[in-house]
C-alpha cells in the first residue's frame, strides 16, 4: 500500500462511456479504487485522473463524503494537507467494483462487438 498512483491507472482511451455498470457518479468507482490501499491527498487523486478537473474532483469527493463513503481530514500544517480515506461503507463497495471488473473482463468485448455490428447494419 501507499505506492504512488500512476496517471495511467485508468486508460483515457478505454470506451468506458459504453460501460454498463456505474458506481455513484462518473468518477466515484475509480476514486474508490484509488483509495483502496490507504488515504490519499487531493493532488495524488488528480494525478491518477488527469482528465478530471479540480472542480469536478472536488464535487465528487464532497458528494462521497456526504454519503459516508469517505472522510476528509484537514491537517493543520503549512502548506495545507488534506487527506481522503475510505470508510467501511466506501470499502464495502470494493467487492461490487471487483465484480463489475470481472463482468467486463468476460463480457465487455461482446457488448462492444454487438454495438459495432448493430451500427454497421443501420448506417452502412
Q: Is 82 in the site for DNA (CB under 7 A)?
A: yes
Q: How many Å apart are CA 34 and CA 4, to the nearest integer?
A: 10
The mark string for 41-80 relative to a second copy (x by CB under 8 A, - otherwise) is ------------------------xxxxx-----------
Q: How many Å apart are CA 30 and CA 48, to the nearest integer?
A: 9
Nearer to a second copy, 9 or 96 (CB): 96
DSSP secondary structure code for residue 29 in this structure: H
Q: Is 26 in the site for DNA (CB under 7 A)?
A: yes
Q: Is 95 in the site for a second copy (CB under 8 A)?
A: yes
Question: Please, are residues 86 and 33 in contact by the beta-carbon 8 Å criterion?
Answer: no
Nearer to DNA, 8 or 75 (CB): 75
Question: Please, are residues 94 and 100 in contact by the beta-carbon 8 Å criterion?
Answer: no
- Residues 6 or more apart from 41 whose CB is under 8 A from it? 81, 82, 83, 84
Q: How many Å apart are CA 26 and CA 60, to the nearest integer?
A: 9
* Shortest reach from residue 107's CB to a second copy, in Å: 5
65 binds, among DNA, a second copy, none (CB under 5 to 8 A by kind): a second copy
Which residues contact a second copy (rule: CB under 8 A)? 18, 20-24, 28, 65-69, 89, 92-93, 95-96, 99-100, 103, 106-107, 110-111, 113-115, 118-119
Amino acid at each position: 500500500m501507499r505506492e504512488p498512483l500512476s496517471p495511467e491507472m485508468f486508460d483515457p482511451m478505454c470506451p468506458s462511456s459504453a460501460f454498463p455498470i456505474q458506481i455513484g457518479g462518473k468518477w466515484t468507482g475509480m476514486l474508490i479504487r484509488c483509495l483502496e490501499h490507504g488515504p490519499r491527498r487531493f493532488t495524488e487523486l488528480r494525478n491518477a485522473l488527469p482528465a478530471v478537473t479540480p472542480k469536478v474532483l472536488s464535487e465528487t469527493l464532497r458528494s462521497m463524503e456526504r454519503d459516508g463513503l469517505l472522510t476528509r481530514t484537514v491537517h493543520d500544517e503549512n502548506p495545507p494537507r488534506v487527506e481522503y480515506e475510505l470508510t467501511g461503507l466506501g470499502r464495502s463497495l470494493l467487492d461490487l467494483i471487483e465484480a463489475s471488473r470481472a463482468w467486463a473482463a468476460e463480457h465487455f468485448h461482446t457488448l462492444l462487438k454487438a454495438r459495432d455490428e448493430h451500427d454497421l447494419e443501420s448506417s452502412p
